[in-house]
Amino acid sequence: MRNYQQEGQRVKLILNIIVLGVALFSFSRRPDTYNKSSAFEVFMIDSITPLQHGVTVVNNQLSSFFEHYVKNVSASKENLMLGKRVSDLENRLFLTEEIRKENIRLKNLLEFGVEQNTRKILAQIVAWDSSSDYRVLRINKGVENGVRLQSTVVTSQGLVGYVFRLTKHYSDVLTVLDANNKIDGVVERIRVHGLLEGDSEAKIKMKYVTRTEPIILNDLVMTAGLGNIYPKGIRVGRVTRIERESYGITQSIELKPEVNFRTLEEVIVLAEPVNAQKKKEWSALDNSEEAQK
Amino acid sequence: MNHQLKNLLTPLIITIIILILLEIISTVILPIVGLKYYILPFNILVILFLGFKVRTPFLAFLILILQYFHSFFTIEGWESGTIVGIFVCILIAYLKEFIHFSSKLATMLVTQIFQTCWFLLSSSLIYLRASDLEYISIKFWRFLPESILISILSPFIFSLLEKIWDTSEKGMLGGES
């Protein structure tokens, strides 16, 4: 009996060491900026997520029922107001279209750069991450819909995040609220750069901005386009708090995201076509880093 | 002590199904009712149950499998939870003589204590990787309400899991099943 117990203890110790070793090795090798899933993980996520999707669909239909039939009292008044707003927006759209054409003409004149042919994929949020340490949402579009790893995700209000993990039919989006999502941002008014980092609540920190920069409350911060993930000029948030000490090099800045994550239901994925030149540059960079190691 | 892996297979599969259902509740249903910033970590509760009640040399392997299934719902991955889970279960094994589940309140208290151990260990791992104390302090303020809710739920989920794992002995834990 005692031998049997000792044998069990020995097996337990060996298994603990093996599993801990494998987990520590994998933990140290885990990339921070994306997650390439194995075929089994892709299969499992694609099999489980329809359950999450189903619950979301049922909820949306119930909400839709209440929105359309129960709370439909002031719909006609709202309809009139929306009609006016549509005509106003149509006018603005016409002006914007003119500006866009002018912009293309001027860019061509200046040979400013090649315009990216970005595809816009509308996606619905089906779930949130099951760990509160991460601000990640799962959307119902994947590889088969044209989404790629590290594709930018936006709404009409501004930046949501980028695709961190991808399966055939679903993607996990690392939002701007996540502390692991680091973005090079620029203050629209004075073109000052800083590092944007989520702090897991409904705000974003802007780091490494020198104390002398004249940033004011309500300044708009946009993506700077550096880092090869986000395109330039997407709205991220507005400055809500500035803390300048009489000492030190930098100032502490907080932003409120332009996107309201509490009510977010649909997003747009900006799927860029595979750029052979960009791919070549990345693989050259990877190779040089490995050679240095 | 259960030395045969085949005896663990059926309860493990049922536990995985329960974990998947609980994860769906915490990732879909709770955010729908407005709980987007506080997510209940049901994987911790299930692993604590295994540490408290299941006496098997394959415990590390069971934790690994449960964490692997948990990783389908989070980008956290299976690694950190597996490392912390194994250390917490080693701690439970050392302290098993002092752990009692005589009442629902005692179960909640014990669960809260070991969730705190889980928090301290996982925070250490985060600090080793990111060296960011501010992030850990934010995590602590989220941990408080989440862990209290998990502790309140623990007697009910433990009684369900006891039926599945057939470990329904009363009183002090740590006796051979």
Task: Identify whether A37 is part of a domain.
Answer: yes
Domain that holds residue A68: 32-72+116-272
This prediction's pTM = 0.81
Contact A4 B3 (CB under 8 A): yes
Contact B63 A19 (CB under 8 A): yes
Nearest to B86 among A4, A16, A27 (CB): A16
Mean pLDDT of B64-77: 92
Q: Does residue A80 sit at the B interface (CB-CB below 8 Å)?
A: no
Contact A27 B77 (CB under 8 A): yes
pLDDT at B172: 38
Kindly list the domain boundaries of chain B, sorted by start residue: 5-165
Task: Identify whether A280 is part of a domain.
Answer: no
Complex ipTM over 0.90:
no
Tally of domains in chain A: 1
- Please, what sign has the CA dihedral across residues A102, A106, A107, A108? positive
The CATH number for A138's domain is: 2.40.10.350
Contact A23 B57 (CB under 8 A): no
A78 Cα distance to chain centroid: 33
The mean-pLDDT minimum among A73-77, A113-117, B91-95, B117-121 falls in: A113-117
pLDDT at B5: 74
Query: What distance in Å separates the CA atoms of residue A182 and residue A193, rounded to the nearest whole number?
Result: 13
Q: Does residue B169 sit at the A interface (CB-CB below 8 Å)?
A: no
Tell me how close the Cα of B149 comes to any Cα of chain A, in angstroms. Answer: 14
Tokens of A20: 């801990």
What is the 3-state secondary structure of B76-128?
CCCHHHHHHHHHHHHHHHHHHHHCECCCHHHHHHHHHHHHHHHHHHHHHHHHH
Tell me how close the Cα of A24 comes to any Cα of chain B, in angstroms. Answer: 7
Following CA atoms B2, A15, A39, B69 in sequence, which dihedral angle do they give, to the nearest 10 degrees?
A: 50
Task: Identify whether A154 is part of a domain.
Answer: yes
**pLDDT tens figures, A108-123:** 766 655 555 678 899 9
Nearest to A48 among B20, B82, B86 (CB): B20
Task: Identify whether A50 is part of a domain.
Answer: yes
- Which of B5, B74, B142 to substitute to test the interface with A, most A CBs within 10 Å? B74
